[in-house]
Amino acid sequence: MASTEILCLANSKKLGDRCLAGLSWPDLQTWIRPVERTREHGEVPSDRAQVNSPEGRRWIRPLDVISVDLIEPVPTPAQPENWILGSSPITLVRTLDIAEVASRLRSVADTATSVFDLDGGREIPISVWERGLTKSIALYEIQEPLFRMFERDDSRTWKVDFQYGSRLYRYFPVSDDLEVRKRLDRASKAVRGSGRWFLTISVTEPFQDARSRWLTVAAAIQSEPEMPPPTPEEEPF
């Protein structure tokens, strides 16, 4: 297959390397997740998840339009959007400003009444995903997410609470460690994002011997003004 342009909507951590995903550009009709054929779980090597840009070599970011060499689709029951990544380097076409594309992303964001049709949870049991998911990645627009930081030993993780429709979703892990978490790491233990946000939510690999899969926030893209200076939330951790 010839090179395909994708609007990147996720470059998140996966098993020490990266998971890339986005929508076909410019039609925004098809989700594509490039996977590395030499890796058991398809994770993209970190050096392949970077591009040359006017500012130098850098990570691929959400809202980058990239040109990707795709060989063939390799759908799995839990990840039907997977495509084998070819050997040619990924190249940067351009970087969009959110103002250029927000209305179009809004038009293709998921409109279901709940996230992945789950009633407030984030677990997808094996009995569901083994039958074959119709999607393993989706875009949701939400308002004023609450990002929370948790520390254990020397590690720090971020999770997010948000409301979608009538349901409250809590403690969704944030696997976007390049953009959102970089900003949050300078914040206090909790920060409320102002305005509207797009969340790219993706289905994970099973953890260790667990047979369930889980949902994670692979990217959080603010569609309104910049995040204000962080203020601690009143509720305890």
Q: What is the pLDDT of residues 71-122, one digit of tens each?
A: 999 998 889 999 999 999 999 999 999 999 999 999 999 998 899 988 778 8
Statement to judge: residues 65 and 115 lie in one domain: no
**Which of 38, 69, 99 is the last residue in one of the domains?**
99
User: What is the arithmetic mean of pLDDT over 218-237?
Assistant: 62
Burial of 122-158, coded b for 16+ CB within 10 Å and e otherwise, reads bebeeebbeeebeebbbbbbbeebbbbbeeeeeeeeb
Amino acid at 237: F
Quote the pTM value.
Answer: 0.89
Statement to judge: residues 138 and 176 lie in one domain: yes
Using DSSP bridges, classify how beta strands 137-143 and 196-203 pair: parallel, antiparallel or unpaired.
Answer: antiparallel
For the chain, the average pLDDT equals: 87
pLDDT at 210: 65
Work out how many domains the chain is built from and give that number: 2
User: What is the arithmetic mean of pLDDT over 167-171?
Assistant: 92
Give the pLDDT band (50/70/90) at residue 192. Answer: confident
User: What is the arithmetic mean of pLDDT over 212-216?
Assistant: 89
Q: Which residue in the block uniquely carries the two structure tokens 């969340």?
A: 199
- CATH number, position 218: 2.40.50
Q: What would the pLDDT profile of 3-38 be if each residue is shown by its tens digit?
A: 999 999 999 988 889 999 999 999 999 999 999 998
Statement to judge: residues 115 and 62 lie in one domain: no
Give the pLDDT band (50/70/90) at residue 237. Answer: very low
pLDDT at 213: 87
Give the pLDDT band (50/70/90) at residue 225. Answer: low
Question: Tokens representing 232?
Answer: 């601690």
Task: Determine whether 105 is exposed, middle or buried from the number of CB atoms within 10 Å of its CB (0-12, 13-18, 19+).
Answer: buried
Statement to judge: residues 77 and 104 lie in one domain: no
Quote the domain boundaries for residue 17.
4-99
Is the pLDDT assigned to residue 231 strictly greater than 60? no
Proportion of the chain above pLDDT 90, given as a percent: 59
Dihedral through CA 224, CA 221, CA 23, CA 38, nearest 10? 170
